[in-house]
């Protein structure tokens, strides 16, 4: 009788154990040794239980005051990794306040030894450890992480196939020459430069490189008062110059995409801007859009990658309008250039939060009632 009861109890326990195993989810895990890491950047990784063969990698970079754990919990990439079998790397800034170093010469130089180099070494380690597909490595980030996304696209264009930056700035815009510098002219949207100047800033972060570059998706909100919306224009200028497009002349302008408050500016297969009217610095992360842009789901005009079809269990494993632009290790100062926009000429009205004036602005200067055009600075006025 006792044997029977014990047997029944063991069977019940085994059944419970199997059920727990089935619902168990992979965990965010810290990797303490992944290669050269002179900045002390921390590495965390999420490897789903069902991993695609030769999986893609997404590097997801947190905001100032954020952590790897917070971005793991607050962004959609780990949940999407469970569905599609890719790996997510979550770097964590080593600095007080956890902003990223996007302001030093080292950070803005290929193999310069700063945060950007540490993150690149995380990718190299992950490719080797999990036999990941080196041709399908992607990067995305929010705010300071969005700034680092643009920096990585410029310093390691050979590593990333595509990028999606949220509420960031052009690569090099935040340069101060210090590791933890804050560039107020950049964040305030007064670092205005020509397409050529911005493009050269990015190109000079990896001198001599002539290979392919990551396709860029730039996301920003018109009501962002932390990283001002003019940075959307300046970032588009930079990548338009890199890819040979003409800033202010997108091939398509699609209202209401991906949702009602956004407008999508399609410059070509390598550059798309997504601008949210009334969207603040707390811009929503659109994981589904990012995966489509990366080619992990669906396809893009320049990618033959399709959605992951086969998943297998993962293996166990051991203040002026002039800014200083950095050009590799050489620093040069350039004067501001006029900003342009693709908005229609006179006879139109601008919606709430839209730009309505500024040096070189050629769009709508009359705001839709009851809003008025409020002066912010010589380069930016907004309908408020």
What are the residue numbers of the active site?
143
Task: Provide the token pair at 365.
Answer: 């200067």
Q: Is 37 within 8 Å of 112 (Cβ atoms)?
A: no
Distance of CA 240 to the CA centre of its chain: 17
Measure the CA–CA gap between 112 and 154, rounded to whole angstroms: 13
Measure the CA–CA gap between 363 and 381, rounded to whole angstroms: 11
Measure the CA–CA gap between 138 and 294, rounded to whole angstroms: 7
Task: Provide the token pair at 32.
Answer: 């303490």
Measure the CA–CA gap between 115 and 94, rounded to whole angstroms: 9
Q: Is 376 within 8 Å of 382 (Cβ atoms)?
A: yes
Q: Is 187 within 8 Å of 147 (Cβ atoms)?
A: no
Q: Is 81 within 8 Å of 55 (Cβ atoms)?
A: no
Measure the CA–CA gap between 70 and 65, rounded to whole angstroms: 10
Q: Can you name the residues that pair with 264 across neighbouring β-strands?
A: 254, 274
Cα separations (Å) of 351 from 7, 276, 294, 308, 367? 72, 12, 31, 41, 6
112: cis peptide before it, omega within 30°?
no
Measure the CA–CA gap between 198 and 133, rounded to whole angstroms: 31
């Amino acid at each position: 009788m006792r044997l029977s009861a014990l047997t029944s109890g063991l069977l019940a326990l085994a059944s419970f154990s199997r059920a727990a195993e089935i619902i168990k989810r992979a965990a965010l895990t810290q990797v303490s040794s992944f290669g050269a890491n002179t900045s002390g950047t921390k590495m965390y990784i999420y490897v789903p239980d069902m991993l695609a063969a030769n999986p893609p990698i997404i590097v997801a970079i947190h905001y100032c005051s954020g952590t790897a754990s917070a971005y793991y919990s607050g962004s959609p990439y780990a949940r999407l990794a469970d569905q599609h079998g890719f790996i997510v790397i979550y770097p964590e800034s080593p600095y007080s306040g956890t902003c990223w170093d996007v302001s030093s010469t080292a950070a803005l130089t290929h193999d310069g030894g700063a945060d950007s180099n540490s993150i690149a070494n995380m990718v190299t380690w992950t490719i080797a450890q999990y036999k990941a597909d080196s041709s399908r490595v992607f990067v995305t980030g929010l705010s300071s992480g969005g700034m680092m996304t643009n920096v990585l696209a410029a310093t390691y264009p050979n590593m990333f196939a595509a990028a999606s930056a949220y509420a960031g700035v052009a690569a090099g815009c935040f340069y101060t020459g210090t590791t933890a510098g804050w560039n107020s002219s950049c964040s305030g949207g007064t670092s205005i430069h020509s397409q050529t100047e911005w493009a050269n800033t990015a190109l000079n972060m990896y001198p001599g490189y002539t290979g392919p570059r990551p396709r860029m998706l730039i996301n920003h909100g018109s009501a962002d008062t932390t990283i001002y919306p003019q940075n959307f224009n300046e970032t588009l200028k930079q990548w338009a110059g890199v890819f040979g497009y003409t800033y202010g002349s997108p091939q398509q302008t699609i209202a209401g995409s991906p949702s009602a408050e956004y407008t999508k500016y399609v410059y070509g297969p390598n550059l798309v801007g997504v601008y949210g009217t009334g969207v603040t610095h707390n811009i929503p992360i659109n994981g589904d859009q990012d995966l489509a842009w990366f080619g992990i789901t669906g396809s893009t005009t320049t990618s033959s990658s399709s959605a992951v079809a086969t998943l297998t269990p993962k293996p166990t494993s051991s203040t002026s309008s002039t800014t200083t632009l950095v050009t590799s290790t050489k620093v040069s100062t350039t004067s501001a250039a006029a900003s342009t926009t693709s908005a229609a000429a006179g006879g139109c009205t601008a919606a709430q939060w839209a730009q309505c004036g500024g040096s070189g602005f050629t769009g709508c200067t009359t705001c839709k009632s009851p809003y008025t055009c409020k002066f912010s600075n010589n380069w930016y006025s907004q309908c408020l």
